[in-house]
Chains A and B, each alone.
Chain A
């Protein structure tokens, strides 16, 4: 019934994807053809159904699992930052070593020029303009000896920077937004490009589409195997549960207990006594990370759950969830 090539235009017409003249042609046909109108209605029905019922929510805790999965990844670096790490194709560590070596040469050279590696005593006292400096080697040597006994060396002489290979192999960068602890710690060490590759877990072949990243070997957080300790990355959630059940707080307490969790009130006091009607409010629930999915699923049984976007990730084996029990109409 919708086989004629012209009918392809019907879908495009429905989507507003036809040029004006083609659109007018379809409208003329529609005005004189009831069967075409019926076809259009069918297409509209399909579109409407898909748009209303086609979307699927990501599983409970999906976002936290993604953030945990990338917690071990190096901090994001943009192209210009990449360039800064390897200006002119030379690793920045190379420049650091060269600079340190240059400093050593300059400082040692100055010291030798000043005599026996000890600076003259007027080094740290600026000479007033026009004042003549009288050099007295014996006096300077005596004072210098005194300085060596009483003052820490670096204040008078910049110590040559010691750069060993270990230091040169890494560079430290500070990640802004320290509140997002899970993605990178405040000071995150980026391995040098010479560092061994991240172990790969699976290789999915890539093809086509050069602009978007092709599937790559996925490095997983280490220690996700059963029995490995602190491999779990906890997450802090905030969930709003709209419920018509006045005893939801009591149920929350029972659920938390079932999954090895603890419930505390906003002031941090642990709630152990049974809760009753009217106790719905905000609670903090700490559950073992491995029970997160089950606990989250059970939360959904209490009412409709809204995930707030301000998740925080912490490196721990337990998850703290703020649960806001909001009374809704039955």
Chain B
């Protein structure tokens, strides 16, 4: 019995397939690997989409589209980049395109993005109910609300960079590859984003409360 933790650790290490192994399994026709990939990335993809789109329903649409695109494309994924980097790039592309698409349709001229639901001509997806109680964000802590509010003050690019760095813990190199900007740009935008966020948060709470 006393070896159980060690055995558990070994099992966890051995039993958990790497991203690369999952992709190989998927390419070999093992569809269960895709299920694991979705499970592994759903929160990351949804977080990124929500922080960018700032609307739960739209973020879920985007996140679903991202995973559908991955399903269609993983068969040709060569593994030159890390799967995570690839997934984030797909999210960024989808978010950018969604914003541009809606801007072209002047949908955000009179309505803020936060208030806009599903586009008229978007496909029907199976979306979660956002009835009272269904939205976990309604129960989120004050600190989470502060973070959401603070991030909302940043422009899209800054928001993405700070999310990728401070929430997803990616390196400047990876962020640059995902956002398609030089490393120096990541560095300067990240600093500006943090400074701006620090100002917003400091106005709302003292640093002691946060730390």
Which residues on A are within 8 Å of B, measured CB to CB? Answer: 2, 7-8, 10-12, 15, 17, 41-43, 45-63, 65-70, 73, 75-79, 81-82, 173-177, 179-180, 183-184, 201-202, 204-209, 211-216, 218-221, 224-225, 293-294, 296-298, 300-301, 307, 309, 311
Contact = CB atoms under 8 A, between A and B. Distances in A.
Secondary structure type dominating chain A contacts: loop
A176 B28 contact: yes
Contacts of A55: 43, 47, 167
Nearest to B104: A205
Contacts of A301: 133
B90 A49 contact: no
A212 B72 CA distance: 11
B144 A8 contact: no
B29 A225 contact: no
Contacts of A216: 69, 72
Contacts of A297: 128-129, 131, 133-135
A224 B133 contact: no
B26 A76 contact: yes
B42 A68 contact: no
B105 to A, nearest CB: 12
Given A53-B144, A56-B137, A294-B134, A8 B28 contact: no
A207 B180 CA distance: 12
B56 A215 contact: no
B12 interface: no
Contacts of B100: 205
Nearest to A64: B126
Interface of B: 26-36, 38-39, 42-43, 45-47, 50-51, 56, 60, 63-65, 67-76, 78, 80-81, 86, 89-90, 92-94, 96-98, 100-101, 119, 121-129, 131, 133-137, 141, 143-144, 146-147, 151, 162-163, 165-167, 169, 171-172, 180, 187-188, 190-191, 194-195, 197-198, 201-202, 207, 210-211
Contacts of B42: 58, 62-63, 66
Contacts of A75: 29, 31
Given A54-B166, A79-B75, 17 more contacts: A10-B191, A11-B190, A42-B207, A46-B198, A48-B211, A55-B43, A59-B134, A62-B64, A66-B42, A67-B38, A75-B29, A76-B29, A201-B124, A211-B81, A213-B70, A219-B123, A309-B39
B72 A58 contact: no
B191 A8 contact: yes
Given A63-B39, A204-B98, A70 B34 contact: yes
B16 to A, nearest CB: 10
B207 A183 contact: no
B94 A78 contact: no
A211 B89 contact: yes
A279 B194 CA distance: 50
A59 B123 contact: no
